[in-house]
């Protein structure tokens, strides 16, 4: 299925933010809270873009600014080429928000829910794609069941469908798989991939780093209201400094580490030693040479590339 919109925004940027800041007034004259400190961010059209950060980093504030439910304190934001201040109605029409909360009327069927939502967006009856969207999210069989009878996973997919009724080119998924089991998470991942393949730009916030690693093309990291990283996922992964090499030794774990290896950061592990190293300062070859020079016989070598969790913790200084 190809998505109905046709035009891309200028320069292929789905969302452009410049100098975006948000300060919340403190309660009863208390100190104001700086939720976002002015930052610039471009989200490329057609990508799955991960917006990551610890709790309180400012992710939800930024999403709500894009959605028009929070008024920014400074800066500009355009959604699919439309400035949210100059034309807020069109900007809202350019984006679909899938919230964390399951805000669905329990006494409406999925079909009724989508029809009502389409009406709220002013979509003429002849242009509605209700059945097509229900099929896209795998709810065709449940189209006439009351929402209260749907499983939690089905309700989450219904939220995705609800956000798609007006054909927005951008879909924001705020923690879409929070609290669901592994099997359902995989199905939701498949839905996200299908939507993106149909041309929808996906903005994804998630606490599951494996989710971002599996789905995202680009990743931005917010921490304490500041944008501290924004790179293609592969570049971010390649840029992580710490890597690890494990060497299985013919003589097993050494009783005492030779001084040269201890200085390299080697530590004893079952059957040998492990060395965590910075590839810009050292190499596997240099480590192997040092082990051989120490008179130890190597029977096997394995290397461990960092995963996104390690990269995230390194960038945020361990914040969770």
Question: How does pLDDT run across 31-65, given as a tens digit for each residue?
Answer: 888 999 999 999 999 999 999 988 888 998 999 99
Q: Is the pLDDT of residue 4 over 60?
A: no
pLDDT band for 2, please (50, 70, 90 cuts): very low
Q: Is the pLDDT of residue 5 over 70?
A: no
Residue with tokens 């998505």: 3
Whether the CB-CB separation of 306 and 242 falls below 8 Å is answered with yes
Give the span between the Cα atoms of 52 and 102, in whole angstroms: 21
- pLDDT for res 6: 42
Backbone angles phi, psi at 149, to 5 degrees: -90, -5
The domains of the chain, with CATH numbers, are 10-238 (3.40.50.300), 243-307 (no CATH)
| Average pLDDT value for the chain | 86
What integer is the mean pLDDT of 297-311? 79
For the chain, where are the alpha helices, taking DSSP H only? 59-67, 88-93, 110-120, 130-136, 152-163, 182-197, 209-215, 233-238, 259-263, 284-293, 308-316
Give the span between the Cα atoms of 311 and 216, in whole angstroms: 15
Q: What is the DSSP letter of 146?
A: -
Give pTM, 2 decimals: 0.74
Q: Is the pLDDT of residue 319 over 70?
A: no
Q: What percent of the chain has pLDDT over 90?
A: 41
Question: Which comes out higher in pLDDT, residue 242 or 88?
Answer: 88
Backbone angles phi, psi at 200, to 5 degrees: -80, 130
Strand order in the sheet with 201-205: 95-98, 170-174, 201-205, 48-52, 218-223, 226-232
Question: Nearest Cα to 100, choosing from 60, 151, 47?
Answer: 60
Least confident of 72-81, 155-164, 287-296, 304-313: 304-313
Whether the CB-CB separation of 2 and 167 falls below 8 Å is answered with no
Q: What percent of the chain has pLDDT over 70?
A: 93
Question: Nearest Cα to 101, choosing from 52, 50, 162?
Answer: 162
What integer is the mean pLDDT of 132-147? 90
Q: Is the pLDDT of residue 1 over 50?
A: no
């Amino acid at each position: 299925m190809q998505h109905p919109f046709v035009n891309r925004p200028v320069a292929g940027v789905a969302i452009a933010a410049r100098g975006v800041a948000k300060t919340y007034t403190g309660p009863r004259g208390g100190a104001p809270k700086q939720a976002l400190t002015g930052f610039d961010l471009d989200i490329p059209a057609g990508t799955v873009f991960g917006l990551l950060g610890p709790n309180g980093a400012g992710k939800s504030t930024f999403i709500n600014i894009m959605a028009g439910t929070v008024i920014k304190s400074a800066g500009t934001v355009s959604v699919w080429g439309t400035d949210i201040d100059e034309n807020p109605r069109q900007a809202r029409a350019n984006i679909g928000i899938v919230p964390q909360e399951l805000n669905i009327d329990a006494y409406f069927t999925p079909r009724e829910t989508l029809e009502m939502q389409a009406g709220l967006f002013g979509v003429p009856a002849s242009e509605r794609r209700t059945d097509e969207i229900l099929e896209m999210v795998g709810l065709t069989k449940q189209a006439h069941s009351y929402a209260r009878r749907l499983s939690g996973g089905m309700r989450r997919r219904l939220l995705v469908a609800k956000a798609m009724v007006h054909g927005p080119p951008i879909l924001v998924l705020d923690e879409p798989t929070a609290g669901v089991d592994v099997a359902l998470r995989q199905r939701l991942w498949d839905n996200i991939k299908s939507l993106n393949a149909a041309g929808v730009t996906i903005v994804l916030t998630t606490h599951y780093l494996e989710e971002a690693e599996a789905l995202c093309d680009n990743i931005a990291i917010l921490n304490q209201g500041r944008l501290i990283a924004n790179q293609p996922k592969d570049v971010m992964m390649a840029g992580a400094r710490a890597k690890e090499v494990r060497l299985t030794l013919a003589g097993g774990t050494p009783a005492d580490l030779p001084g040269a290896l201890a200085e390299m950061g080697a530590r004893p592990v079952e059957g040998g030693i492990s060395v965590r190293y910075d590839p810009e300062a050292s190499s596997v070859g240099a480590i192997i040479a040092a082990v051989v020079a120490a008179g130890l016989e190597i029977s096997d070598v394995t290397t461990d590339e960092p995963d996104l969790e390690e990269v995230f913790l390194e960038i945020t200084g361990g914040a969770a």
